C-alpha cells in the first residue's frame, strides 16, 4: 500500500517487532469485515506473535464491522470501554492482575467454570 519493498517494508511491519519485551502493552481492535486490512492474518497474526513472545496483548474482534467501524453510532462507547479495561489490566492495575493470574485460587475458579 505504501510502495515499500524489501528492508523498508520489513522495518515498517509491526509484526517484525513482536519479540519478548520489545513492545509496550498492545490492544488490537479490528472488525471482522474489514476489506482494507483484513483481521486475518493481520491482527490475528500480530496477537499470536506478541502473545508467544510474552508481551501483554489483547485482541478484540468486532463481528461484521468494517474498517473505521469506530465512527459508527454506538461504537465509540464500545471501543472506549475496551481501551479503559485494557489500561486497567495492563497499566493501572497490572500488579493486581498479575497476582490474580498467578494465584492458585484463580486457576481453581477457571477449572470450576470449565466443568459447568
* pLDDT tens-place string over residues 83-109: 999 999 888 998 888 887 777 666 677
In the chain, where are the structural domains located?
6-114
d(CA 50, CA 61): 16
Q: How far is CA 81 from CA 33, 42, 60, 85, in A?
A: 21, 23, 11, 6
What pLDDT score was predicted for residue 79? Answer: 93
Superfamily of domain 6-114: Alpha/Beta hydrolase fold, catalytic domain (3.40.50.1820)
What pLDDT score was predicted for residue 106? Answer: 63
What pLDDT score was predicted for residue 1? Answer: 58
**What would the pLDDT profile of 30-88 be if each residue is shown by its tens digit?**
999 999 999 999 899 999 998 888 888 899 999 999 999 989 998 999 999 999 999 99
The full DSSP string for the chain is -----HHHHHHH-GGGG-STTSS--EEEEEETT-SSS-TTTHHHHHHHHHHHTT--EEEEEETT--TTGGGSTTHHHHHHHHHHHHHIIIIITHHHHHHHHHSHHHHHHHHHHHT-
What pLDDT score was predicted for residue 97? Answer: 82
What pLDDT score was predicted for residue 105? Answer: 63
More confident position, 116 or 61: 61
pTM across the whole model: 0.74
Amino acid at each position: 500500500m505504501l510502495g515499500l519493498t524489501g528492508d523498508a517494508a520489513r522495518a515498517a511491519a509491526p509484526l517484525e517487532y513482536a519479540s519478548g519485551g520489545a513492545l509496550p502493552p498492545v490492544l488490537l481492535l479490528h472488525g471482522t469485515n474489514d476489506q482494507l486490512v483484513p483481521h486475518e492474518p493481520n491482527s490475528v497474526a500480530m496477537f499470536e506473535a506478541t502473545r508467544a513472545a510474552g508481551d501483554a496483548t489483547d485482541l478484540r474482534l468486532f463481528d461484521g464491522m468494517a474498517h473505521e467501524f469506530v465512527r459508527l453510532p454506538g461504537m465509540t462507547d464500545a471501543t472506549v470501554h475496551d481501551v479503559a479495561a485494557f489500561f486497567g489490566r495492563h497499566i493501572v492495575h497490572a500488579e493486581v492482575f498479575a497476582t490474580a493470574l498467578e494465584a492458585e485460587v484463580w486457576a481453581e475458579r477457571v477449572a470450576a467454570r470449565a466443568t459447568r
